[in-house]
Structure 1
Amino acid sequence: MSESPPGTATPEAVHVERVMKQNYIALVKLLAVRIVVIAVLIAVPMALYGAGAPNSLFLVLPVIPAMFLLILTAYRLWAGVRLAQCRKVLLHYPLEFHTRVVKKSSLWTEYGTVFEVKISTRGEHGAPLMKAINAAGRRRWPEGTENGVWVAGDLAFGGVMVVPGSNAMLFLNPADWDKLAPRREEAGAERIARAQQAGINRRNWRKPILLRG
């Protein structure tokens, strides 16, 4: 089901497994680039030392950013990558097309760029402000959202946004979890149970996102 009004073209429905595969590939590419950079930063000083270069501070310096990048990568994998969460949501909710999504702001964090967005819902007013993070760890805002997006989930709890064309996938959670508490309490037993099964019945962003705004 989609919320696109008469006369608005709805893009071809997305294939969930294809979307998941493309996002896992995107994550692998991101990690591969980082691993290559880390390897170069460590291998070059070792090669120079093996070639007879004197053991000096300048020879050790590249190892410091390599270790920093390694720690940051591990942290982003732990806190920023949301592919497993997205798969769980997509197992329990269908994708519905929404004709309008507006990016309100963005926040750089150690584990990814967090966007604040509003997604239109036809026939309803007061669309909740949502936090969105690229499930595969990319930082840039995906192209193609101006023509509408696919959304799975329950916005009072959270969900998943998929961009037509690129199949970029973002995990969603209410920007102000406490503000939407009355909506969740009034959701009814069936909606609450479904949110529990999908893993969006709780605040999915605790620290450190709250510490960074």
Structure 2
Amino acid sequence: MPYDARTPAPPEAPDVVQVLKANYRALIGLFALRLLITALLVAIPVALSRATGSNSVILTVPIVPGVFLFIYTVYRFAHGLRVFQCARVLRAYPMVFHPRVVKKSERRTRYGNVFEIRVTTRGQHGAPLMLAVNATGRRRWPQSTEAGVWLAGDLPFGGVMVMPGGKEMFFLKPADWDKTARGRDEAGPERLARAQQAKLTDRTKHAVMMRSGA
């Protein structure tokens, strides 16, 4: 079991509804800010051109990054759907406290930083290495993991990790899908049905952690 009498009492379990609300707000705020910057980069040169009657090429310069920022925002919106994937997992699984998670490495990708971690479980050995990515695409690794984390899911399939005392949420998948195949094959009908409900039965490749449905 991830928690027993020999470990300190775990912190209070986070409110799933509040965690999801916080992540939805963070995702919406991120895209709203980018869209606002895009609008300003496009609107200000147009307004200045009309006000001054100038057709100077210099006035059109900010429009170019504005267009690229808009394209990038639309592109990232599809990958931001990972929050909805996490919501499915949290609806299918209860959260269980794990006393420690160790970050082994990280890799920067265009979909967000992908962290390789090991979730330690007291009384169990050979915990699989997992890939973790922030649900809203933030790139930093939180410092609070040394005090333990809350995890919903089934490690051979994947899951969701939530930081105690905070609202940060990470989507998890096995780092080596083939290596954890035995754990999935040995899963009973109930575990398999729950993983299917959470849409965790599909393989996720390292470079596409932020793709919706991956």
Deviation (angstroms), 1:159: 0.2
Report the AA paired with residue 21 of structure 2.
K
One-letter amino acid matched to 2:117:
V
Distance 1:55 1:178, change over 3 A: farther
CA RMSD, aligned part only? 2.1
Instruction: Tell me the equivalent position of 1:83.
Output: 83
Q: CA deviation at 1:133?
A: 1.3
Q: CA deviation at 1:93?
A: 0.8
* Paired position in structure 2 for 1:107: 107
Check whether the contact 1:72–1:111 (CA below 8 A) recurs between aligned residues. Answer: no
Does structure 1 retain, via aligned residues, the 8 Å contact 2:111–2:208?
no
Structure 1 residues 71 and 5, CA gap change in structure 2 (3 angstroms):
farther
Mapped contact 1:99–1:120 kept (Cα < 8 A): yes
Aligned residues: 210
Residues 100 and 147 in structure 1, CA contact (< 8 A), matched pair in contact too: yes
Q: What letter corresponds to residue 42 of structure 1 in structure 2? A: V
Structure 1 segments unaligned to the other structure (5+ residues): none
Shift in Å at residue 63 of structure 1?
Answer: 1.6
Residue 155 (1) aligns with residue 155 (2): yes
Shift of 1:155: 0.5
Please name the residue that 2:196 is paired with. 196
Q: Is the 8 A contact 1:88 1:199 kept in 2?
A: yes
1:27 matched residue in structure 2: 27
Q: Percent identity?
A: 54
Equivalent residue letter for 1:44: I
Structure 1, residues 27-82: CA drift from partner, whole Å, max 9, x if none? 12211221221112112211221122632332222122112222222222212431
Match of residue 137 from structure 1: 137
- Aligned-pair CA distance for 1:142: 2.5
Bigger Cα displacement from structure 2, 49-58 vs 59-68: 49-58
Displacement of 1:166 after TM fit? 1.4
Displacement, 1:111? 2.4
Cα distance in 2 between the residues matched to 1:49 and 1:177: 56
Q: Per the alignment, in what secondary structure is the counterpart of residue 51 of structure 1? A: helix
Counterparts of 1:174 and 1:8 in 2: how far apart (Å)?
28
Indicate the SS of the match to 1:118.
Answer: strand
After the TM superposition, which parts of structure 1 deviate over 3 Å for at least 4 consecutive aligned residues? 204-210
Superposition TM-score, scaled by structure 2 size: 0.89
Alpha-carbon deviation of 1:2?
5.0
AA partner of residue 58 (structure 2): F
SS of 2:107's equivalent? strand
1:113 Cα deviation after fit: 1.9
Matched position secondary structure for 1:86:
helix
**TM value normalised by structure 1:** 0.89
Give structure 2 stretches of 5+ with no counterpart.
none
Matched, 1:71 2:71: yes
CA distance in structure 1 between the partners assigned to 2:95 and 2:79 by the alignment: 25
The separation in 1 between residues aligned to 2:100 and 2:171, in whole angstroms, is 17
Name the CA shift for 1:19/1:4 in 2 (closer, same or farther; >3 Å): farther
Distance in 2 (CA, whole Å) between partners of 1:89 and 1:209 is 15
Partner of 2:57: 57
Amino acid at match of 1:92: A
Contact 1:4 1:10 in 2 (8 A): no
Residues in 1 aligned to 2:136 and 2:74: alpha-carbon distance in whole angstroms: 14
Residue pair 2:99, 2:148 contacting (<8 A) in 1 also: yes
